[in-house]
């Protein structure tokens, strides 16, 4: 058996930290803008989106911390590395969204019952705030999603979805304020807020399921397993392979398997084949930690 330690490397860790910083700075900025806009306009939908952005701000901060911790090399207490912190962060972010949904729902219902009226003089400020927020969130989501895809970071992928959701919710609030300004219908604002609450709840469920799957070690996606099988099947030196197992630990893929080699091979020959297969799999599915166990071919087991 040969073990090759899979680590992220400085370039990947730096890219993940930089994307996390961008997300934190953006969320802090737009949360402040939305809170100011909600105060000036009295809009519950704008306030709801400000609360949503506030949860994103906290989530982005958690993401920044998690990618730094997850990028740390394995140690004596954590021999498999620290990648699971990213999955845990994704689950915590989902819980935070559920809390925000509850707050938004209560506020929107209260506004519908009380028939609170918005000041038309300040609605223009709200429209400007939501327009700027929508564009900023969209651009940031493209960047964070690209880095998340390149590095395989769970936390960044989750955060990119947060930013995409923020873009959509900002557009929704913008539309609600525009309707109120144009038609004078005060119910549009809390109704948009309730719609946001339902949208956020649906997204939170998906985020929670994805994070839990990684925490409980669900296997790698089928397309990645197919890559591994293709590598093994293309190597004519081995007789067969079995017990292919896989999981995610943050952005690092953990893969172990058994290969069957001719029983007349010596230890050096078997080691060289195992080493080359580990190298090929690491290269194609980086960052990855690969363990290949060698079994001698036994004709008695062939049916």
Per-residue pLDDT of 145-199, as tens digits, reads: 888 888 777 668 877 887 888 888 888 888 888 888 888 777 888 888 888 788 7
Cis before 252? omega within 30: no
Clarify whether residues 50 and 93 are in a common domain. yes
Average pLDDT over residues 204-233: 85
Clarify whether residues 167 and 131 are in a common domain. yes
The Cβ-side half-sphere exposure at 17, using a 13 Å CA radius, reads: 13
Q: Say which residue, 260 or 219, is predicted with more confidence.
A: 260
**What is the Cα–Cα distance from 157 to 180, expressed in whole angstroms?**
35
Per-residue confidence (pLDDT) for residue 80, from 0 to 100 = 64
**What is the Cα–Cα distance from 290 to 53, expressed in whole angstroms?**
39
Clarify whether residues 186 and 226 are in a common domain. no
CATH number of the domain where residue 293 is located? 3.30.70.1350
Clarify whether residues 204 and 267 are in a common domain. no
Clarify whether residues 255 and 191 are in a common domain. no
Lowest average pLDDT, out of 51-65, 137-151, 235-249, 258-272, goes to 51-65
Clarify whether residues 71 and 18 are in a common domain. yes
Are 292 and 6 contacting, i.e. CB atoms less than 8 angstroms apart? no
Q: In sequence order, what are the residues at sequence separation of 6 or more whose Cβ sits closer than 8 angstroms to the Cβ of residue 173?
A: 43, 45, 46, 48, 49, 126, 130, 192, 196
Clarify whether residues 95 and 142 are in a common domain. yes
Are 210 and 198 contacting, i.e. CB atoms less than 8 angstroms apart? no
Domain residue limits at 177:
2-215
Per-residue confidence (pLDDT) for residue 212, from 0 to 100 = 79
Of 155, 180, 215, which one is at a domain's C-terminal end? 215
Lowest average pLDDT, out of 7-11, 20-24, 64-68, 289-293, goes to 7-11
Are 172 and 195 contacting, i.e. CB atoms less than 8 angstroms apart? yes
Of 172, 189, 215, which one is at a domain's C-terminal end? 215
SS3 287: coil
- The DSSP result for 178-205, as a single string, is HHHHHH--TTHHHHHHHHHHHHHHHHHH
CATH number of the domain where residue 76 is located? 1.20.1510.10
pLDDT cut 70: percent of the chain above it:
85
Per-residue pLDDT of 216-230, as tens digits, reads: 777 888 999 999 999
Average pLDDT over residues 84-110: 80
Per-residue confidence (pLDDT) for residue 60, from 0 to 100 = 66
Q: Which two tokens stand for residue 3?
A: 């073990």
Per-residue confidence (pLDDT) for residue 226, from 0 to 100 = 94
Whether the predicted pLDDT of 238 surpasses 90? yes
Are 220 and 253 contacting, i.e. CB atoms less than 8 angstroms apart? yes
Per-residue confidence (pLDDT) for residue 1, from 0 to 100 = 40
CA distances from 70 to 56, 144, 157, 211 (A): 20, 17, 14, 15
Beta carbons within 10 angstroms of residue 39's beta carbon = 13
- Considering only CA atoms, which of 106, 103, 91 is closest in space to residue 50? 103
Clarify whether residues 192 and 262 are in a common domain. no
Per-residue confidence (pLDDT) for residue 116, from 0 to 100 = 65
- Averaged confidence pLDDT in the chain: 81
Clarify whether residues 53 and 155 are in a common domain. yes
Q: Sorting pLDDT into bands at 50, 70 and 90, what band is 71?
A: low
Of 215, 238, 255, which one is at a domain's C-terminal end? 215
pLDDT cut 90: percent of the chain above it:
23
Per-residue pLDDT of 275-287, as tens digits, reads: 999 999 999 998 8
**What is the Cα–Cα distance from 57 to 217, expressed in whole angstroms?**
28
Per-residue confidence (pLDDT) for residue 271, from 0 to 100 = 93
Count of structural domains, the chain: 2
Average pLDDT over residues 38-43: 84
Clarify whether residues 201 and 111 are in a common domain. yes
Report field, pTM of the whole predicted structure over 0.75? no
Q: Sorting pLDDT into bands at 50, 70 and 90, what band is 119?
A: low
Clarify whether residues 105 and 234 are in a common domain. no
Clarify whether residues 204 and 265 are in a common domain. no
Q: Say which residue, 9 or 8, is predicted with more confidence.
A: 9
Per-residue confidence (pLDDT) for residue 244, from 0 to 100 = 94
């Amino acid at each position: 058996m040969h073990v090759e330690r899979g680590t992220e490397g400085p370039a990947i860790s730096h890219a993940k930290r930089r994307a996390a910083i961008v997300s934190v700075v953006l969320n802090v900025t737009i949360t402040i803008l939305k809170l100011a806009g909600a105060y000036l306009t009295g809009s519950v939908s704008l306030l709801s989106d400000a609360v949503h952005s506030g949860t994103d701000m906290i989530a982005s901060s958690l993401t920044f911390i998690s990618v730094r911790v997850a990028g740390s090399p394995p140690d004596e207490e954590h021999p498999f590395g620290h990648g699971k912190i990213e999955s845990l962060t994704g689950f915590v972010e989902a819980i935070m969204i559920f809390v925000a949904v509850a707050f938004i729902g209560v506020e929107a219902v209260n506004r519908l019952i009380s028939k609170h009226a918005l000041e038309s003089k300040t609605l223009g400020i709200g429209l400007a705030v939501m327009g700027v927020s929508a564009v900023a969130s969209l651009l940031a989501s493209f960047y964070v999603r690209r880095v998340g895809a390149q590095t395989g970071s769970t936390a960044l992928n989750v955060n990119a979805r947060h930013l995409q959701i923020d873009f959509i919710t900002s557009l929704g609030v913008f539309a609600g304020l525009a309707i109120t300004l144009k038609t004078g219908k005060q119910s549009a604002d809390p109704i948009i807020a309730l719609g946001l609450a339902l949208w956020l709840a649906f997204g939170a469920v998906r985020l929670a399921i994805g994070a839990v799957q990684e925490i409980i070690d669900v296997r790698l996606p089928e397309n990645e397993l197919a890559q591994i099988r293709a590598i093994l099947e293309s190597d004519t030196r081995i007789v067969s392979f079995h017990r292919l197992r896989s999981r995610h630990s943050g952005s690092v893929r953990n893969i172990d398997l058994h290969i069957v080699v001719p029983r007349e091979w010596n230890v050096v020959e078997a080691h060289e084949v195992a080493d080359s297969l580990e190298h090929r799999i690491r290269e194609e599915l980086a960052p990855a930690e690969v363990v290949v166990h060698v079994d001698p071919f036994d004709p008695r087991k062939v049916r």
